[in-house]
Amino acid sequence: MFKVSKIWLAILIALAISAPLLHSVIPDVVSDYRLFLVSTMIIASIAVLGLNLLTGFNGQISLGHSAFYAVGAYTAAILMDKFDCPYYLTLPAAAVVSFIVGYLFGLPALKLEGHYLALATFALALAVPQILKYKWLVSVTGGVQGIVLTKPEVPFGLPLSEDQWLYYYCLIVMLALYWVAANILNSRSGRAIIAIRDYQIAAGTMGINTARYKAVTFGISAAYTGVAGALSASAIAFVAPDSFNFFLSIKFLIGLVVGGMGSLTGSVIGGIFYVVVDNSAQALSSFVKNDLGVQFDLSAYTVFGVLLVALMYVMPMGIAGAIFALVHKLELKRRETRTSEVLCRRESNKLT
């Protein structure tokens, strides 16, 4: 598990907090659109973190996290649309509902491992969008037309635009969830979760209730992804079943692998990667066709695939793993240099 020093973490948080305040100074660089784009990166990072808790730290493979993302999004949307619930109260509701769904799904999935579990979650990802379209639920879910919402309003008369407030709202939620995840992983329960990933038989021999921990981890992972879905519903102000198809799960998984499995920092990198590629694929396709003269449409999935193969060849541990390996190598080299300097000084002192 890779860690970031507290100093660097404080610097990054300070930069993230101060970024929207530069809107009035450099409006072209820190525009509302770019702040909205960063907000979507934050939301994606939370979703990737949810998958990372399950796959990266507990070793359970999931291809169905788009289903939990949909559960959280629709829980928030229905509460806001049908019950006039404030958007900030939909987050705990989405977390609870998603946790229950994830935990209940995790119980029968305890008998499955590896690719069998992946196939079960794959079926879940395919089923949920169709369930949301079911005719008996149309009055609640809106069917194929979905539910139109309003974006979160700026509270307390703060001098911020809607996109600036959305950015801070998502950032606060992300920091809180990452703090909770870090504390869970550093606790006794977190060590048990990781032990199950590394060697399940040995963990069970040591008295760890592997079935309970795996089911609870499934629930916590679903809760995190559900919160991301609820944030997405507020940010985009619209939900529809086709927005939560199976390919969304693949994007989460690609973000996890590229960012770095078993790394909280890797979850952030993976979320950023997934949104950047998703939003730049069309521009790259236009560049290839118009500027290079190659009549070939590059879909987002084509770009994802090419980059994934390239990054896995160059960085098999993900971007976070490569960064920390480089930092570790530089640190070792610095220590070796310092040690050689000390030895040289001792030798020179002996000669004098």
Cα gap 271→42, rounded to integer Å: 7
- Report percent pLDDT > 70 for the chain: 92
What is the pLDDT at residue 196? Answer: 92
Judge whether residue 302 has pLDDT over 90: no
Judge whether residue 30 has pLDDT over 60: yes
Residue 250: CA count within 13 A, CB half-sphere: 11
In this structure, what token pair is assigned to residue 2? 């890779």
Tell me which residue of 99, 50, 317 sits closest to 215, measured CA to CA: 99
Q: How many CB atoms lie within 10 A of CB 149?
A: 18
Can you say how many angstroms the Cα of residue 49 is from the centroid of all Cα atoms in its chain? 4
Q: How many CB atoms lie within 10 A of CB 141?
A: 23
Q: pLDDT tens digits, residue range 44-77?
A: 999 999 999 999 999 998 999 999 999 999 999 9
Residue of higher predicted confidence among 347 and 330: 330
Query: Which secondary-structure segment (H or E) carries 200?
Result: helix 200-205
Angle at 116 between CA 248 and CA 257, to 5 degrees: 45
Judge whether residue 296 has pLDDT over 70: no
The lowest-confidence range among 127-131, 203-207, 324-328 is 324-328
Judge whether residue 187 has pLDDT over 80: yes
Angle at 117 between CA 141 and CA 42, to 5 degrees: 55
Do the Cβ atoms of 296 and 351 come closer than 8 Å?
no
57 three-state secondary structure: coil
The residue-averaged pLDDT of 18-28 equals: 78
- Report percent pLDDT > 90 for the chain: 49
Q: pLDDT tens digits, residue range 111-169?
A: 777 788 888 899 999 999 999 998 888 989 998 999 999 888 888 888 888 999 999 99
Judge whether residue 248 has pLDDT over 50: yes
The residue-averaged pLDDT of 292-297 equals: 64
Residue 228: CA count within 13 A, CB half-sphere: 33
> pTM to 2 decimals?
0.90
The lowest-confidence range among 23-32, 83-92, 226-235, 269-278 is 23-32
In this structure, what token pair is assigned to residue 128? 């949920």
What is the pLDDT at residue 17? Answer: 86
Residue of higher predicted confidence among 227 and 14: 227
Tokens 């939990």 -> residue: 68
Q: How confident is the model at residue 1 (pLDDT cuts 50, 70, 90)?
A: very low
Judge whether residue 303 has pLDDT over 80: no
Cα gap 226→100, rounded to integer Å: 11
Cα gap 206→137, rounded to integer Å: 47
What is the pLDDT at residue 295? Answer: 66
The lowest-confidence range among 22-26, 34-38, 268-272, 326-330 is 22-26
Q: What is the mean pLDDT of the chain?
A: 87
> In Å, how far are 24, 27, 28, 31, 228 from 20, measured between CA atoms?
9, 10, 12, 9, 21
Tokens 């290079």 -> residue: 292
In this structure, what token pair is assigned to residue 265? 């920092």
Tell me which residue of 183, 262, 282 sits closest to 1, measured CA to CA: 262
- DSSP string of 134-187? -GGGHHHH-GGG-EE--PPPPGGG-S--HHHHHHHHHHHHHHHHHHHHHHHHTS
Cα gap 324→313, rounded to integer Å: 17
Q: How many residues does the chain have?
A: 352
- Residues 278, 279, 283, 284, CA torsion sign: negative
The residue-averaged pLDDT of 294-307 equals: 70
In this structure, what token pair is assigned to residue 233? 């519903």
The residue-averaged pLDDT of 181-190 equals: 93
Query: Which secondary-structure segment (H or E) carries 239?
Result: strand 238-239
Do the Cβ atoms of 269 and 54 come closer than 8 Å?
no
